[in-house]
A and B are shown apart, each in its own frame.
Chain A
Amino acid sequence: MTRKRKRLLVVLLGLGMLGIASALVLFAFNDNLVFFMSPSDLASKGAPETRRLRLGGLVETGSVAREADGHTIDFRITDGNSAVPVVFSGVLPDLFREGQGVVVEGAMAKNGVFRADTVLAKHDERYMPPEVADALKKAGHWQGEHPSANAAQAKP
C-alpha cells in the first residue's frame, strides 16, 4: 500500500469516527440537555412536559416539611416573585437550609409540584450557584455578593 493510500485510509477512518461521534453527540443533546429555569420562568412560560429541568432559587423560609416516612421532604423554591413547591425523597445535602440557594433537578409533575431527584447545595456555605444569582438579579431580589464570595475551592 502506498503512503498516499495509507494516509487516505487513516483520514477516512478519522472522518468516519468523527461522523459517528457527531451523530452520538447530536442525539444525546436532543434528549439530555437539562435546561435551567427560575420559579418566575416556570410561572410565565410553563414547564415543558416530560423534560428534565433544573430549577434554582432560594429555599423559602418556613416551607420545609418532612413527611412521616422520614426521608420525603416538601419545600418551596422562590426567587422572590414566584415560588414552586418541590418534593424530594432521599437524603438532603449537608448544606441544605432555609434561605439558602439551591438547584434541584427533576421534572414538573401534572399537579404542579416539582419532583426532584437531585438536590445540589454547594460545598461551601459562602457560595451561591451562578444561575441562582442570575435568577435573583432578574427578579430584582439580589442582595449582593457575600463579602467573602472568593471562597475556598472544593477541588483543584
Chain B
Amino acid sequence: MQVSIPVIVKDPVVTNYKDIKPTEQITVEADVFLDGPVSPRVAVVDFEPDSGALAAPARFAAPKARARRGSYDVPHPVSMGDPDVHPIATAVSVFGAVHKTIGMFEEPDALGRSVDWAFDAPQLLVVPRAGQMANAYYERESHSLQFFFFADPTRAGRSIHTSNSQDIVAHETAHALLDGIAPDLYAAISPQSLAIHEAVADLASLLVSLRCRELTRRVLQDTWGQIDNSNAFSGLAEQFATALDPERNYLRNLNNRTRVQDVPSHGPHELSTVLSGAFYTLLRMTYEELRGHYASKSMPDPTVVAEPEANYVEKTATAGEPRRSTRSTSGALGSNEKALFIAAERIKRTLVRGLDYLPPGDVNFADLARAVLASDEASHPDSSTLREWLVQEFITRGIVAGRKELDVKTNFDRKSLLEVDIAELVASDFAAYAFAQRNRAWLKIPRNTPFEVRPRLDLTKLYWHRDTRRTVREVLFKVSWSEMENNRSGGGLPRQRRYRAGTTLAIGLDRRAPYVRALITSRRLEQDRQATDAMLKELIESEKLHLSATANSGPSLLRGAIEANVGSGVLHVQGMARMLHVTGLTR
C-alpha cells in the first residue's frame, strides 16, 4: 500500500524566505498504515506536553475505490509564511521525513536491503514533542527518536520544534539507521568512531534535502548553479541554529576545509566535519564536473559517472515514484539539476555502501576510508576518477598520511571460500563460527581470544559498469572481538580498558566461484588511544561518566550519563554514542 505524505521542506523559516512551498509531497510504501501515523517500521507517538497523555493521532484515510494511494488527514496543513505548525501536520511530516531517509538508505542502488534496527524490535518510535530542550536525539534503549522544542527567542510564547526541521529529522533517523548497520559504533570509545556517526547523520540531512526538487531548483536558480554560493544545502538546521545564536545560520557547515589536526580537542562533533567536509567536497567536484558536460550536452567522463548510472538516476528522479522510492518529482531535470541529482546519488551510494563494509568495533576515519574505497570499487569498477578525488581528500584532511594506508586487497580468490557452502555460511551460526575458527589468522582474530560472528548479510545490489548495470549478490561476513589497552585518562579510572576490534569479509558471488571482494580489519592507532584518553577525561570532568561501583551493578536508572563499570580492574564503557546528544554534553 502507498500513502502520500506532505513533508516540511527544510524548516518553516527556510521555505518562507526562499518563497517555496512549505511542504513536498512524497510517497511511502508499506504493507499497512494506521492512525498515528504508524507503519510496520515507524510509529509516531505524540505526547501532549502539558498532560503526558497521547495526543489525537493523524487519521489514516485508506485509498478510495481504485486509487493506489491513501493519505493522512491533516486538518490544518502547513501554510506558507506561518512558522506555527499544527501537531498533526508535524506528526505526519516527521513520519514522512523518517521514511524518506530510510528509503534513501535502503533502495536498491544504496544498501539494497532493509536495515534491522539495533534494538530487538521492528518499529522505530518517533516522539515529535518530547519535551522542552534545544535538542533532538536517537536513543537505542527506548527504540526512539526524540524531538524536543524550545522557546523561540524572536516570538514570545512560541516554540521552535525540532521535529519541523527536515534536516534534524533526517539526521536523527540516520543515527538510527547507522546504529542498525554498524551497531558497534554506539559503544565505541574512540572520538573518530562517534564522529563517523555524526558525519553520516549530517551527510544524510544533506542528501535528503537534495531530493527535494523544488528546493534544489530554487537554490540552483538563485545561485546560477554555484552551490557554494548558498549554504541551503551545506548548512544544516538553519531555524534551530539561528534561534540559538542569531549570528549563525547553520548548526554545522559541510562546506569546509577542516583537517583532523585542526581539531585538537577530539570533540566528535567538530571531528565529524572533517569527514562530512570530505564527502561534501566530493559532491561539489562531481557536480561541477557533470554540470559542465550536461550544459554542453556532452557525455560525462565514464571514469567519473557511468552512463547507465546517470540514466538510472534521471529516470527515477523524473518518472514518478517508483516502488520503494520516496522522491518528490515533477517534470524534466535541467542540466544543473541533473548534475546535482546524479552527483548526490553517487555520493550517497559511495558512502552508504562503505558503511556496510565497515569492520565492527572501534573504527577510525581511515578504516571508513578503506571500506568506502573498497565498496566503491565493487559498485563502480570503471569509475575510478571519483575514488582518486576521495583519496586526495582523505590525505589532504589528515585522515591518512599517504595513499598506501588506504590500500585494501580486493577481488582475489581464497581457497577456504571454495571449500565452504555459502548458503550454509549465511544461514548457520555454527558453520559461520567454524569458518572463522578455521580462518582465524587470516581474519586477524588474536590467539586465545573469544570472538563473535555477526549475522551474515546476503545482499543484492545494483552495480554500475561502463556500459551496463548489473544486479550483483554478495555476502558480508563480520567477526569481532574485544581487546585491552592502557587507559591514560586519569580521573581515578582503571589503568586498562576494553575496546572492540573486528574484520569484514565481503564475499563476491558474481563469478563462477565465490571470491574475496574485500577483507578489511580495523586498525587502532596510537592517536586513537590518545583521543580516547582525552574524551574520557572530558567526560569525567563534566561529570557525565557514571562509574558503577562493581561490574555487576545492573542497568542504570540514569538517562543522561555514560555508563562505565570496572571488572577485574579493567574499564568498560557502554553507550558512548549517547554523549552525542542524550547527555546534552555536545550538540
Q: Is B a genuine binding partner of A? A: no
B residues with a Cβ closer than 8 A to A are none
A residues with a Cβ closer than 8 A to B are none
